[in-house]
Structure 1
């Protein structure tokens, strides 16, 4: 049960960090909320539920081909560590939230789906980070892998929904220092996960 809780907590932390960090989907969530209200922003926020079914399935099938090759998984883990370090440094160096994005149409869900499909973030995350975690979770049980996925998407989408609601009610939310400090503090979370992935990669190489 301890291991199951660890995977759930990992999913929650990674989902929350990904959900509130600046990126194409968050930019569109905020833009739609500002122009058309919170409901439009929420439609964009839930788009990963649609797009990631295909994205994650393809990536996991790809990674399954290399699951028994420790050297390949090791290099993926080390690559994931460097990617997390990059995300951590970016979060720590965040000085302001500049997510300007012009929108004219109100097809919010459609635009969210397109933006997420074209964004490199979900592909990089599931290849370098999410995929290896799921395989490790499956060594414990399928339920532990489900906990990670549930925690990740619950916070990834949930945090964006909350931001859409807050932005729809108050345009000053993005200028709030608490939001900025939260993003910066999550840089440390990325660093912790980077250390974990680096350690795992080096152990597999040895």
Structure 2
């Protein structure tokens, strides 16, 4: 029971990342629509390849500064602002078109992830601090749940692209993103509390 929060949080962030519109989503759908379901699945697993080294790097950096409470507090507050921004983007999205000229597979997905600044912002200010605070088991469950959420949601899109095309361009998809955005706001508030505690404000 004590690790349910870690699993739930990882899944929320992972599913939110997997369903969010962007270059990776466009590439995923483009590959699948062109009849390359295998390539679509390869795109789905690309975050695992790119994000694990990034996470490990940031965990190493956090280990070096973990005794500096003020810095950790600032990182938490910055993470809260990033989550608020993610939530804001979800709430203000008006439509998502799946038409794209992108092509490629695993290599292209890896390149897109490496060049995506949000990947680094998420792991440094949100993901890595959460893993460090949750401990070995809790952090591992969060990380595994995140990758299950992001790859799982993207693989579902690959397997059911023909049926999901209308859904992804419907108001129901936008409502789903708004729901995820609301959860981002909640987690952002929790990060503010955590940051203020590190700064000895509360």
Query: TM > 0.5 between the two?
Result: yes
Does residue 154 (structure 1) correspond to residue 148 (structure 2)? The answer is: yes
Match of 1:174 among 164, 168, 192: 168
Equivalence for 2:193:
199
Equivalence for 2:41:
42
Kindly provide the CA deviation profile for residues 145-183 of structure 1, in whole angstroms up to 9, marking residues without a partner as x: 111111111001110111122225554332233222101
Give the whole-Å Cα distance in 1 for the aligned partners of 2:42 and 2:111: 12
The 8 Å contact of residues 10 and 148 in structure 1, kept in 2 or not, is answered as yes
Equivalence for 1:72:
71
Q: Which runs of 5+ in 1 are unaligned?
A: none
Give the whole-Å Cα distance in 1 for the aligned partners of 2:102 and 2:77: 38
TM-score, structure 2 length as denominator?
0.92
Moved over 6 A (4+): none
* Larger displacement relative to structure 2 (14-23 or 185-194): 14-23
Does residue 27 (structure 1) correspond to residue 26 (structure 2)? The answer is: yes
Matched residue count: 200
Equivalence for 2:178:
184
Q: Which runs of 5+ in 2 are unaligned?
A: none
Equivalence for 1:60:
59
Does residue 91 (structure 1) correspond to residue 85 (structure 2)? The answer is: no
1:118-137, aligned counterparts within 5 Å? Answer: 118-137=115-134
Kindly provide the CA deviation profile for residues 9-58 of structure 1, in whole angstroms up to 9, marking residues without a partner as x: 11111111111111222221112122233322111111112112222121
The 8 Å contact of residues 66 and 72 in structure 1, kept in 2 or not, is answered as yes
Does residue 14 (structure 1) correspond to residue 13 (structure 2)? The answer is: yes
TM-score, structure 1 length as denominator?
0.91
